A and B are shown apart, each in its own frame.
Chain A
Amino acid sequence: MARTRPRSQKSPYPLWFFVPAAIIYGIFFLTPTVSSFWYSLTRWDLTTAEFIGLENFQQFFSEPFLVQSLVNTLIYAVTTSGLKTVCGLLLAVLLTSNIFARGFLRTVVFFPVLVSTIGIGITFTVMMHPTKGIINAALGALGIAGPGWLTNPSLALFSVALVDLWKGVGLATLIFIAGLAAISTDYYEAARIDGATRFQQLWRITLPLVRPATITVVTLSLIGGLRSFDLIWAMTRGGPGFSSDVVASVIYKQYQAGFYGLSTAGNVILFALIVAIILPFSLWFNRREVVQ
């Protein structure tokens, strides 16, 4: 753990140095956060707010598609986070080994991260068109009848998750490459002398030692997955029907409809959900780290 500075030691800077930052933080972060808790208890039309207690929360949980959206959010977050971690690690192992055109391949893997999410969403929507899209056309040429990637209600969410993987795996790979570079080659040398196979090296050396990078990737991609909105909105708008709705898209639709109180309540629920998942998760990981 990092060394802790003795508390009694006085800071060399006077306290009012912190005032500008505190004011900005207070106005643009604390005030909206606190007031959103208040507005989630009201029926709000941006000019008048009528206090209605917990009715918004009751409303949120009593509607079938809102509950389904919570389930979808969890499915989406776990799917994208899991896939990004596994694929990211494998790609990182590949791209740190001595392969042909390594620099170029690293660029190729990272490139989708830099492209606008909306642009990717629109492009893949066209490519996933059930009859005219390039994906189903290619499958058709092989004699396979491609599914309605975005129009089949049981498939739409996973199709978007795959595109999210394609877009986000570059960042996970980058973090893993940094983590792998920090592992001393001595371990691998020793393992080779002892006759360890490549798989044993991966399982016994790489995986345990790359833990800090894994924690970062899992946490970031899980939070990203839970808050995910832009890609889903660009590709399906939560459809067909409500089948790929996640909490964020439901909140946006309530906001669009003018249900400002209800959408604020949804945000409070999303906030609580993220805290409830990420807090124990990161405590658990950090404790494991200390134990080691």
Chain B
Amino acid sequence: MTIHIKAYLASAALIALTAAAPAHAEVTLSFLVDNSPDSVAAAEALVEAYQKQAPDVTIEIEQRPGGGEGDNIVKTRLATGEMSDVFLYNSGSLLQALKPQQSLADLSDVPAQAKVDPGFKSVVSADGKVYGVPFGTAMGGGIFYNRAIYKEFGLSVPKTWAEFMANNEKIKAAGKVAVAQTYRDTWTSQLFVLADYYNLQAAVPNFAEDYTDNKAKYASTPAAMKGFEHLKEVHDAGFFNEDFGAASYDDGLRMVATGEAAHYPMLTFAIGALKQNYPENLNDVGFFAQPGDDAAKNGLTVWMPQAIYIPAASGKIEEAKKFADFVGSVEGCKIMTDTNTVQGPPLIDGCPLPADVPPAVTDMLPYFKTAGLTAPALEFVSPIKGPALEQITVEVGSGIRGPAEAAALYDDDVRKQAKQLGLSNW
């Protein structure tokens, strides 16, 4: 039994339309972005450039928190018809949780889409329609390392997990923190599990499909358990900073940039924050993919950037689409790469990488040059990501729960999400 409250939405749209009725040429669009310094800086630069090009359009930037609080705001505002005319939000499974078919405007016919990377389009699509244009470059998920420490101890970038642990042992013996963990910001605890997906899909190629179809489980797939096991190994070996339970994301970046810690597992979007907060240390920070069992199968798990979307209930869809077209153009891409440090390869055909990029990006590029050395993270190939993963990984990383039990608990969490999304087979 299904109850639709379309009538309410229709009337909301009607009110929005009548409000916009005195159709002067001048239009004001609202643009909701998350409050990370990178997003705000890029949004401001894009709006400034666009308003020069289209002087009759005024775009007002609104800010919202990131993480779970941000999800909450976006979902609630969409559902109540109070979303801004354009908004920035994650691609992949988080987008699917917004039910784009009902809540968002179709952006398939925006001209800029012709040059957008097909891999990106697939993570902002539902039922064959494209709902977003990219905001930023592709990112890698793996391990930041301090190059000064590696040089000092004569270490080399590890290609296998065993080598990584051996490096950690040497660093710990020298009295330094081997691996920074920052559980004050719980989301940072997920990296060892999520960034292991390249290794997982190399071992079990059809995992994403079977997982979405309720056939494969974390707890019953040994390769999927690896991420949880690795996290426990690193904790049990005592490689973490002493205050890992109370440290924050910013503490983690400081530790790896200034050489307090040798490693910090993170997404490469952190390069932007590193550049802003520790510009003099930026060249000390390198990056490598999370190593697996086999040095010959070393590859990188890739994250797609956020995208901008237009809610279906907006009364100014046409004007908003023109702005979206600008953001997705080569020009828009250049503005973003000039404003922020590049975090990985651009997703717009014809948008060049700047000449001087920090070492962490240089370290990442070789993976993209050879086919098969990158794989999109699981949240981009399956619509399901359990919301409690970050608490579960905090438990594993703090030694509260073992990996097998944690994986089983996460499977339960995933089931809840799949049922909420109304997927078949669950």
Contact = CB atoms under 8 A, between A and B. Distances in A.
Contacts of A253: 68, 387-388
B417 A150 contact: no
Contact of B245 (A45, A240, A258): A240
Contacts of A153: 398, 400
B interface residue count range (under 10 / 10 to 19 / 20 to 34 / 35 or more): 35 or more
A271 B422 CA distance: 28
A256 B94 CA distance: 12
Contacts of A45: 79, 99, 420
Residue of A50, A257, A259 with highest tally of chain B CB at under 10 A:
A257
Given A47-B5, A256-B68, A241 B243 contact: no
B353 interface: no
Contacts of A206: none
Interface in B1-26: 1-5, 9
A47 B72 CA distance: 15
B392 A130 contact: no
Given A59-B416, A153-B400, A262-B416, A239 B394 contact: yes
A151 interface: yes
Contacts of B234: none
Contacts of A243: 400
A227 interface: no
B387 A47 contact: no
Contacts of B401: 241
A259 B417 CA distance: 8
B246 interface: yes
Taking residues whose C-beta sits less than 8 angstroms from the other chain, chain A's interface range is 35 or more
A253 to B, nearest CB: 7
Contacts of A167: none
A65 B394 CA distance: 14
B2 A50 contact: yes
A106 interface: no
Nearest to A151: B245
B409 interface: yes
A258 B391 contact: no
Given A46-B79, A256-B387, A257-B387, A132 B2 contact: no
Interface string A236-260: 0111111100000000010111110
B3 A48 contact: yes
A130 B79 contact: no
Contact of B243 (A43, A64, A130, A258): A130
Contacts of A151: 183, 243, 245-246, 398
B416 A259 contact: yes
B369 to A, nearest CB: 38
A111 B181 CA distance: 37
B79 to A, nearest CB: 3
A185 B1 CA distance: 68
A50 B400 CA distance: 37
Interface string B105-132: 0000000000000000000000000000
A129 B243 contact: yes
Contacts of A255: 72
Interface string B49-82: 0000000000000000000110110011001100
B2 A48 contact: yes
Contact of B97 (A48, A59, A258): A258
Contacts of A49: 2-3
Contact of A256 (B72, B186, B422): B72
A63 B412 contact: yes
B398 A258 contact: no
B102 interface: yes
B163 interface: no
A259 to B, nearest CB: 6
Nearest to A257: B387
B215 interface: no
Contacts of A150: 245-246
A215 to B, nearest CB: 38
A218 B99 CA distance: 46
Contact of A258 (B9, B71, B242): B71
Contact of A64 (B1, B75, B183, B409): B409
B4 A48 contact: yes
B102 to A, nearest CB: 6
Contacts of B34: none
Interface of B: 1-5, 9, 68-69, 71-72, 75-76, 79-80, 97, 99, 102-103, 183, 186, 242-243, 245-246, 387-388, 391-392, 394-395, 398, 400-401, 409, 412, 416-417, 419-420, 422
Given A129-B243, A151-B245, 10 more contacts: A48-B4, A151-B243, A238-B391, A241-B392, A241-B395, A242-B395, A243-B400, A256-B71, A259-B387, A262-B416
27 contacts: A43-B420, A47-B4, A47-B102, A48-B2, A48-B3, A48-B5, A50-B422, A65-B409, A130-B243, A130-B246, A131-B243, A132-B243, A150-B246, A151-B246, A151-B398, A240-B183, A240-B245, A241-B395, A241-B401, A242-B391, A256-B68, A256-B72, A256-B387, A257-B387, A257-B388, A258-B97, A262-B416
Interface of A: 43, 45-51, 59, 63-65, 125, 129-132, 148, 150-153, 237-243, 253, 255-259, 262
Q: Which 6 A-B pairs have the closest CB atoms?
A: A151-B245, A241-B395, A46-B79, A257-B387, A131-B243, A51-B1
